[in-house]
Structures are given as structure tokens and as C-alpha cells.
A and B are shown apart, each in its own frame.
Chain A
């Protein structure tokens, strides 16, 4: 046991050493010819005037970016993981030599779970701090609040959360999945695998669950020719689900399709279990419960449920192993990583790759160069930016286990194309 652990440690240590060695390679080979090395270093670090023609906060040694999330207020529960992931990615990029020879410096602002505050802080980051890019926002409401700011002052936002779609902007890269990517593959899977015929749709009452359930209903009724036996919404923060659970008992759906968020989630799963639902017999598919949420719900209350998203902490690939290890090393062993946290981690990396491809920090050039940028070291596996600024990504179904982790039971064979304005689903 311990020896295999050691081996794993050593292996990843070697991997790190190789990476660092690669970064330092020009230095080692250029020891005899110092002049050559100096010119190489200059070529590595193009002059600021060449890579920054619009007055962003870029110097010869540093580039400033913004991190804009809620670290206070209701949303702090969800956004903490994203902040941690973005900081980790920036740290790793700096350790590997930075971007175009420049180290990344970040300015963190607190959106305080308040949408006007988000807009105000976004303006501060763009106008006063001249950030070359901003990683941030979590709820759709906060994104909608900052979008006009980013478009007016021409900034670049990397937005990590899976969301309802129906949006596309030159100034935003959406690193989470839009609704059709997350929903359709999961529904197809549950019909094929579980022989599901009837669905009961549940959600918290705001734009994301409503739009997602609308897409789910269209897919179930028009494309799969199956039946939705109930659909209902609860105010955010609702804590009493016994009546709804009785209705589910009455209608006996093959699948409970749940998009409940926040504290309500905890109440829902605890009461579902208390009402005698055995999730190993009753199929429940959710798109809103990541490993982060399970911590609050308690693994024993949700074990057996299925979640459909693009990333699970338990993904078995070398990228993810290195990522999880680095994350735990930085933030402690007990930390869990959910889908959005991983998507937030992609932000700084995708930006780095795009800047390098564009050879410039200019917003217009970065926006134009984004399409086609691929990141093959992503913990979720290979991802690529589509022309519509969303990501091509795989969709996976995980089965919740009592220890709070998901076991991946299905993954799409190919990358799923992002389609923020799906035809036939409006």
C-alpha cells in the first residue's frame, strides 16, 4: 500500500521535474554560448509595445488579471472552489514560466453575492486596473450583470459555470457546459440504460433550472417520444419538500430529474431519503449536484443517484490525477473538486494558450484567436474552444457513492458540440 503510494508520488514528482526541466531547457543547453541564450530570452519575452497596443496592465515582467467571485454572502459556498482553482492555475502557469515571459499577477475582487456589486467591481477591474483578462462570476445573474461592462470596456471574461445557454459574446469564454451539452446526453443514457419511460422534472425557480427543464422536456417529448408526468419549481432556499415528494410517490415516474440548487438541495435529498425513497431502486438524475454539494448533503443521503456533467473528481486519467494531487497539496487533503471548480481551472490555462497563439494580450486579438484553441492537459481530458466561445467537451454520467465521490458509469464517445442556441428546443 505505502510502496505504491510512494511510487505514485515519485512518478508525479518526476512528471513535475520533467515539466520544470523543459521550461529550463534553453538555459541548460545555452551555458557555453551566453549571447545566444540572451537573444533567446529576448525572443521569449517580446517587447511590451508589441504585445500590448491598447494600454492593458502589461509590463516587461508582469501581466495583471482579475479574479471576480463572491467570497462573502450566499454564493460564497459555491464560488470558493472556483477562486481556489483559478489561483492554483495561475500559480502553476507562473511556475512554468508565465505568459510570453511575463508573470501573472492577480487582483481579487469580491462580488459579495450581489449582482450590482459584480458590475461595479468588473468596471473597476477593467477601467482602473486595466486587467488583461478576468476570471469570474458563477451565477447567470452575475454574468448578465457584468456582460454589458465587459462589452462596453472591451474586457475578456472566462466564465466557469455550467449554464442555460442562449448567450454568446465576443468578450466571454464559457468554460463550463451550456445546457444542451449537459442535458441531452444524460437523457439519452438514462433511456437506453434504465429503459426510462416517464420523467418528473423538478427545479429551483430561476432561469437556469427553468431553461434546462424546458430543453429536457422538449427532448423527452419531441425527440424521445416519451412522457413528462410532472414539472415543478420551488423558491430558492425552499426547505420543505414533503408535499412534492408525495406527488412523486403518486405519479411513480421512472426518473426524477432534479435541478435544485443551494441549501434546498440538502433539504430535498434528506427528505427524499427519509420518505423511504431508495435511490438504488428509484432512478434520479441531476445536473446540479457536484462533489461540493454532496459535502453538505451527506454522501449517505444521495448514494445511488446519477449526475450528468463533464467532470468528476474520480476521473481516471493522468491529467486529472496530477490536478487532484496539486489541488489537495495546496488546499488540504479533505477538499473536494466539483465540475465548476475544474472548469474554473481551465480559464487561466485557456487564456495563456490563446495569448500565446495570438502573440498578443490585446483583447481583440485574443477574442479572435480563441476559436480552435485546444488544451490537452485539461483534467477533464482534451477540450477545444468552439467558434461560439463555448468548449467542445465530453459529457459523463456519474453514480454517487456514500463516500461523497462519483463513480463514472458513462462517457460520450466524442466531444459534444456546444450549441448555445439549440434549434427545436426554444
Chain B
């Protein structure tokens, strides 16, 4: 397929392809971070993760509508406000869900799977009743569209850069929060030994609620960012959930670094293969490779060395 192209043409295609892989990597990290926090730190399998993302997308839609009607002059920056709103709303709903449902199920991890799956169905129908069954179009400010020409033949997408920047920011923030703050220390203490953590005066219930809220909030931000590249409809969350679980499980459920490594591996594999073969075949091969590796390393890429 490379016959008849000049070297510079090929060079720029490879550069753009590398960039496409990096965008996919950022997207994967962004969508799986929230799930990884909840799954890894609390052992809860949140099947409604996709719906929390779409909640964030709908919040972005509402914010854009509000700005259009009341603050048209500030429309260029509405997206930043929207991400904040998405974080707060998804996070608050996450805390509410934890308080009303999840906390009764910590001793029955498989039941959380069923409960959150039910929650995802409820949320989908709620979206459908409130916003209608049809997809909504989220309009972007003009500056976020299009691409930047780097050279004559290489162009990079502005929204791709935006997603990459955002992912980096959130990943760093999560790292600082989990590993450099007092709150993170508490979270890790609860993960390692709930009884002892309670005995030394950590309110484990509050830590749980905040952790769940944080995970859902990050999902909300991810959903908000994905309005740039995907659709916003009642069931759009389902589009992301498989990839999200794939990344988290492949990376080793309990490890945030594993999540990032796994997102990198899967995204690079997928985007390279997609370039050389049809999209469907690339997906099949990616899944096969992941299944193969998981058979060799059932706990995922990164395993926490703990004595069980």
C-alpha cells in the first residue's frame, strides 16, 4: 500500500499515525481512570461507569445551551465551566449512589456488579425521559475545531491536543491526590486494612464515599471531553464501557500505573493494526492478544505484591 508515495509523504503519515495513537491512549486513560480508582481501591465493579460519563456529556450540553442563551460573549470558554459542572454533578450523584446503595454491598462484591448494572439501566432510561431518545448535538467553540498545521503535510487535531493535555493534568492530579496527600494516605490505608484504618480513627465510610465520588466525577469529566469526539445519547455510555473494562482488567485491577501502561499498550496496538487492516479485524486481533496475555498473566500486567 506504500507504493508510489514519496518518502516525505510517508514520513508525515507515520507522524500523524503516531499522534492518532497518542490521542487514543489519552482517551483510554481518561475513560478508565475513574473506573480504576473505584475498582482498584474499593473492589466495586461499577457497571454504570459509562452512564456517569454520559451524565457529564449531558451536563456539557446543558452548559453550552445556557451559555448560548445567557452568556453568548463567553461562549469560547464555556467548555471549562462545563467540565467543572460535569465533575461536580457526576461526583455528587456518585456519592449519593454510594450512600444509598453501594455501602450495603461491600461484603458482596458480585452483587455490586448487578446493582450497578441495574443503576446503568435506570440512568439510561432517565436520560431518555429527560433529554429524549434522540442524540443531542454539543456545539464546540470555534477555537477547539480543526487542526494545526505543523509542516505542510503534517496536521495535528486541536481537540486531540486538548484531550491529551486534559488527561495529563488529571493523571497528575490523581497521582498527587492518591500518593502525596493525607487523604490519599487514608484511602490506601482503608484499602490495605479496613479494620485497622478504622481503629486509628479514619472514618472509613467517608473515605469510601469520597473515593466513589471522585471516580464518578472523573468519569463525568471524561464524558464532557468526549463530546468533542463522540456522540451524546442515552445509550452512548455503552460504547465506552467495553474498552474501559478491557483497559482496567488488562492493567491489573489494583494498580493505577498498570491502567496507564495497559492503555498505552492497547491503544498503540489497536491504532497501528487499524492502519494496516480493517477496523473490525483490528478490534478482533486486539481482543485476541489481550485474552492471550491474560491467560498467561491472569492478574493483569501489573500485580501488587501482597501476601494473601
| A contacts, CB < 8 Å to B | 71-74, 76-77, 80, 205, 231-235, 237-240, 242-247, 249-250, 262-267, 270-271, 273-276, 292-300
Using CB atoms, name the residue of chain B closest to A243: B274
18 A-B pairs in the complex with CB atoms less than 8 angstroms apart:
A72-B128, A77-B233, A235-B279, A238-B283, A240-B270, A243-B17, A244-B274, A246-B20, A249-B13, A263-B230, A265-B231, A274-B145, A274-B146, A274-B229, A292-B134, A293-B135, A295-B134, A296-B233
Give every chain B residue within 8 A of A244 (Cβ-Cβ): 274, 279
CB B223 to nearest CB in A, in angstroms, measures: 12
Give every chain B residue within 8 A of A77 (Cβ-Cβ): 133-135, 233-235
Task: Indicate if B139 sits at the interface (CB-CB under 8 A).
Answer: yes
CA distance A239 to B231 in the complex (A): 9
**Which of B155-163, B191-199, B251-259, B298-306 participates in binding chain A?**
B155-163
Chain B stretch 128-167: residues in CB contact (< 8 A) with chain A? 128, 132-139, 145-147, 149, 155, 157-160
Which of B160, B232, B239 has the most chain A CB atoms closer than 10 A to its own CB? B239
CB B28 to nearest CB in A, in angstroms, measures: 9
CB B32 to nearest CB in A, in angstroms, measures: 14
CB A285 to nearest CB in B, in angstroms, measures: 20
Give every chain A residue within 8 A of B219 (Cβ-Cβ): none
- Contact (Cβ within 8 A) A235 B280: yes
Other A-B pairs beyond A263-B231, A266-B231, 15, CB < 8 Å: A72-B128, A76-B128, A232-B279, A235-B279, A239-B239, A243-B272, A246-B16, A263-B239, A264-B231, A265-B231, A276-B147, A294-B137, A295-B134, A296-B135, A296-B137
CB B72 to nearest CB in A, in angstroms, measures: 16
Given A239-B229, A274-B159: A246 and B147 interface contact (C-beta under 8 Å): no
CA distance A196 to B160 in the complex (A): 31
Chain B stretch 1-38: residues in CB contact (< 8 A) with chain A? 1, 5, 9, 13, 16-17, 19-20, 23-24, 27
Task: Indicate if B265 sits at the interface (CB-CB under 8 A).
Answer: no
CA distance A73 to B120 in the complex (A): 12
- Contact (Cβ within 8 A) A295 B133: no
- Contact (Cβ within 8 A) B279 A76: no
Give every chain A residue within 8 A of B228 (Cβ-Cβ): 270, 274
- Contact (Cβ within 8 A) B139 A300: yes
Using CB atoms, name the residue of chain A closest to B277: A232
Task: Indicate if B294 sits at the interface (CB-CB under 8 A).
Answer: no
- Contact (Cβ within 8 A) A243 B229: no
CA distance A292 to B136 in the complex (A): 10
- Contact (Cβ within 8 A) B17 A266: no
Which of B9, B226, B230 has the most chain A CB atoms closer than 10 A to its own CB? B230
Nearest 3 pairs between A and B by C-beta? Answer: A296-B135, A266-B231, A242-B20
- Contact (Cβ within 8 A) A71 B133: yes
- Contact (Cβ within 8 A) A275 B230: no
- Contact (Cβ within 8 A) A273 B146: yes
Chain B stretch 181-240: residues in CB contact (< 8 A) with chain A? 226, 228-236, 238-240
Using CB atoms, name the residue of chain B closest to A247: B275
Of B136, B234, B280, the contact of A295 (CB 8 Å cutoff):
B136
CB A250 to nearest CB in B, in angstroms, measures: 5
- Contact (Cβ within 8 A) B231 A296: yes
- Chain B residue total in the interface (Cβ 8 A): 53
Give every chain B residue within 8 A of A297 (Cβ-Cβ): 137, 231
Task: Indicate if B65 sits at the interface (CB-CB under 8 A).
Answer: no
Task: Indicate if B271 sits at the interface (CB-CB under 8 A).
Answer: yes
Map CB proximity to A onto B257-285 as digits: 1 under 8 Å, 0 otherwise.
00000000000001110110011101100
- Contact (Cβ within 8 A) A234 B20: no
Of B17, B133, B234, B278, the contact of A246 (CB 8 Å cutoff):
B17
CB A231 to nearest CB in B, in angstroms, measures: 8
Using CB atoms, name the residue of chain B closest to A267: B230
Give every chain B residue within 8 A of A264 (Cβ-Cβ): 231
Give every chain A residue within 8 A of B238 (Cβ-Cβ): 74, 237
- Contact (Cβ within 8 A) B16 A249: yes
Of A243, A270, A273, A294, the contact of B20 (CB 8 Å cutoff):
A243
Task: Indicate if B125 sits at the interface (CB-CB under 8 A).
Answer: yes
CA distance A368 to B272 in the complex (A): 56
CA distance A296 to B136 in the complex (A): 5
CA distance A29 to B149 in the complex (A): 76
Using CB atoms, name the residue of chain B closest to A231: B278
Which of A249, A296, A300 has the most chain B CB atoms closer than 10 A to its own CB? A296
- Contact (Cβ within 8 A) B134 A274: no
CB A147 to nearest CB in B, in angstroms, measures: 25
Using CB atoms, name the residue of chain A closest to B158: A274
Give every chain B residue within 8 A of A73 (Cβ-Cβ): 235
- Contact (Cβ within 8 A) A232 B278: yes
CA distance A236 to B17 in the complex (A): 23
- Contact (Cβ within 8 A) A273 B145: yes
Which of B9, B128, B226, B232 has the most chain A CB atoms closer than 10 A to its own CB? B128
- Contact (Cβ within 8 A) B232 A296: yes
Using CB atoms, name the residue of chain A closest to B144: A274
CA distance A263 to B135 in the complex (A): 8
Give every chain B residue within 8 A of A243 (Cβ-Cβ): 17, 20, 271-272, 274-275, 279, 282
Give every chain A residue within 8 A of B13 (Cβ-Cβ): 246, 249-250
CA distance A174 to B27 in the complex (A): 41
- Contact (Cβ within 8 A) A298 B229: no
CA distance A74 to B229 in the complex (A): 19
Using CB atoms, name the residue of chain B closest to A294: B137
- Contact (Cβ within 8 A) A266 B230: yes
CB B106 to nearest CB in A, in angstroms, measures: 31
Give every chain B residue within 8 A of A240 (Cβ-Cβ): 24, 27, 229, 270-271, 274
Given A77-B233, A80-B133: A275 and B275 interface contact (C-beta under 8 Å): no
CB A294 to nearest CB in B, in angstroms, measures: 8
- Contact (Cβ within 8 A) B137 A298: yes
- Contact (Cβ within 8 A) B134 A296: yes
Give every chain A residue within 8 A of B274 (Cβ-Cβ): 240, 243-244
Which of B135, B160, B231 has the most chain A CB atoms closer than 10 A to its own CB? B231
CA distance A267 to B160 in the complex (A): 13
CA distance A321 to B201 in the complex (A): 72
Give every chain B residue within 8 A of A299 (Cβ-Cβ): 137
Using CB atoms, name the residue of chain B closest to A236: B239
